[in-house]
Chain A
Amino acid sequence: MPILKVEHVKKSFGSLDVLKDISFELNAGEVLSIIGPSGSGKSTLLRCITQLETVDGGTVQVDGKDLVVPGCSPVKYSPAKVLREIRLSTGLVFQNFNLFPHLTVLQNLCLSPVRVLGITREQARETGRQLLKRMGLEGKEKSYPCELSGGQQQRVAIARALAMNPKVLFFDEPTSALDPELTGEVLKIIKQLAEEKMTMVIVTHEMAFARDVADKVIFMDGGVIVEQGTPDYVFNQSGNERLASFLSRFANA
């Protein structure tokens, strides 16, 4: 059974249809890359699944739980308790990190596990330290976000999301706000998580990365999924014209 199941999702902002009819599935332990031009609806799709936006139609299932009551039109969201459970099983890494600037790195990591999951402070700190070690951020526990580089901040943000032990981790253009020389360190961490069989959905403009890390790639354009399949299929075999012209722009860059 897929851990994430999206069927016929629609979303519009006013008269603008941002998502027209999106369907895909993802199994536990798999990595999905979503690529496509700006404005194609990639980020909106992530924000709909993570409940930062509401869908106007279709269904979303995370770990067997329905985000909206199936078969209701207009859309009716599930009870708050279910939505909360879904939210706690999904983590999101933002483009611009959104770390809490007034808290130290370790406090950023411990706040929610302690306040929301009810884990003891000592245990949360211990888990936090281990996560920072995995992120290559040993010794940064007491630093404030403003004292770190962009790449380090994003790694803290990944650790913060992981501290909640999510079933699916979403990345919304995790390297777009970073200097080119800092993107590598963040991508390396995400690859490492992929090897550890973390289920992830990654919206990215890093084509080589999208191809290398993913089990499955989706190409979106104009609010629809134009192509989806294995990285080899999407990057090498698909004859789709829109995809080819999109990819060629990256090849030339």
Chain B
Amino acid sequence: MSDLSNLLPILWGGFCTTLAIFGLTLLFSIPLGLLVAVLKMSKWRVVRYPVSFYISVMRGTPLLLQIVAIYFGSYYLSEYSGIGFSFDRFPAVIVAFSINYAAYFAEIFRGGIQSIPKGQYEAAYMLGLNRRQTFFRIILPQVVKRVVPASANEVITLVKDTSLAQVIAVTELFALAKKQQAAYASIYPLFVAGVFYYVANLLLSAFFAYLERKLDYYK
């Protein structure tokens, strides 16, 4: 039991880093995803094609590789060519996670936006609402309801994906648990870390279930 009382504060520290990655990624990737979704539906090919390419790269390569690419790529680029700047470890993780999750969110949002019947746009148009009002007052509120279940999946995956940050030595929950595993010569710390992830996701699942109920006031 004394093991656990030593272990918990250490893992808690890592869990806070995990939560920071999680929160910041959501903060940036959701608005970015919405923007990307809108751009992907652009009528101009010069906008649509690069956005499609970006999405296909983000979804078609490992997030692990993207983290490494952002961190080391930015370092070498700024070091040897003077272009841009090198990221510290933590910001590199946030950037990599944000642009990766934005791609997934974008596809979810695009599906949601395109599922809204044409009649909603026509009714808004006939009532004199401009495009901005139509999007933010008519379309988006209905999209939110439709994308909650799919987004819940992504958010829950994100909690677990944060463990990938250890690839560039960010000391999040799983990295610390692994260190303790070595120190204790036991896999026991890893299981405790697992409990952290599981409880976090239990809470998130409960939140999303609540949200779905809240949004169930109309069909």
Q: Which residues of A contact B (CB under 8 A)?
A: 50-52, 84, 87-88, 90-92, 94, 96, 98-102, 111-112, 115-117, 144-146, 160-161, 164
Q: A100-B138, A101-B219, A146-B218 are in contact. Are A111 and B122 (CB under 8 A)?
A: no
At the interface, is chain B mostly helix, strand, loop or mixed? helix
Within B98-134, the residues touching A (CB, 8 Å) are 117, 119-120, 122-129, 133
User: Which are the 7 A-B pairs with shortest beta-carbon distances?
Assistant: A98-B123, A98-B119, A112-B127, A116-B128, A146-B219, A144-B218, A92-B126
A101 partner residues in chain B, CB cutoff 8 A? 142, 218-219
A87 partner residues in chain B, CB cutoff 8 A? 125-126, 128
A146 partner residues in chain B, CB cutoff 8 A? 218-219
Q: Roughly how many angstroms separate A92 CA and B123 CA in the complex, as a whole number?
A: 8
A51 and chain B: residue at smallest CB distance: B125
Q: What are 28 A-to-B residue pairs whose CB atoms are below 8 Å?
A: A50-B126, A51-B125, A52-B122, A52-B125, A84-B128, A87-B126, A90-B126, A91-B126, A92-B122, A92-B126, A94-B119, A98-B117, A98-B122, A98-B123, A100-B123, A100-B124, A101-B219, A102-B218, A111-B129, A111-B137, A112-B127, A112-B128, A112-B129, A115-B133, A115-B137, A116-B128, A145-B218, A160-B127
Closest Cβ of chain A to B142, distance in Å, is: 5
Q: Which residues of B contact A (CB under 8 A)?
A: 117, 119-120, 122-129, 133, 137-138, 141-142, 145, 217-219
Closest Cβ of chain B to A50, distance in Å, is: 6
Contact in complex: A100, B120 (CB < 8 Å) = yes
Q: Roughly how many angstroms separate A164 CA and B126 CA in the complex, as a whole number?
A: 10
Q: Roughly how many angstroms separate A87 CA and B124 CA in the complex, as a whole number?
A: 11
Closest Cβ of chain A to B212, distance in Å, is: 14
Q: A100-B120, A101-B142 are in contact. Are A115 and B218 (CB under 8 A)?
A: no
| Supplied contacts A84-B128, A164-B127, 15 more A-B pairs, CB within 8 Å | A52-B126, A87-B125, A91-B126, A94-B122, A100-B123, A100-B124, A101-B142, A102-B218, A111-B129, A112-B128, A116-B129, A116-B133, A144-B217, A145-B218, A146-B218
A161 partner residues in chain B, CB cutoff 8 A? 126-127
A144 partner residues in chain B, CB cutoff 8 A? 217-218
B123 partner residues in chain A, CB cutoff 8 A? 94, 98-100
Q: Roughly how many angstroms separate A90 CA and B127 CA in the complex, as a whole number?
A: 9
Q: Roughly how many angstroms separate A87 CA and B219 CA in the complex, as a whole number?
A: 29
Q: A115-B133, A146-B218 are in contact. Are A98 and B128 (CB under 8 A)?
A: no
Closest Cβ of chain B to A104, distance in Å, is: 9
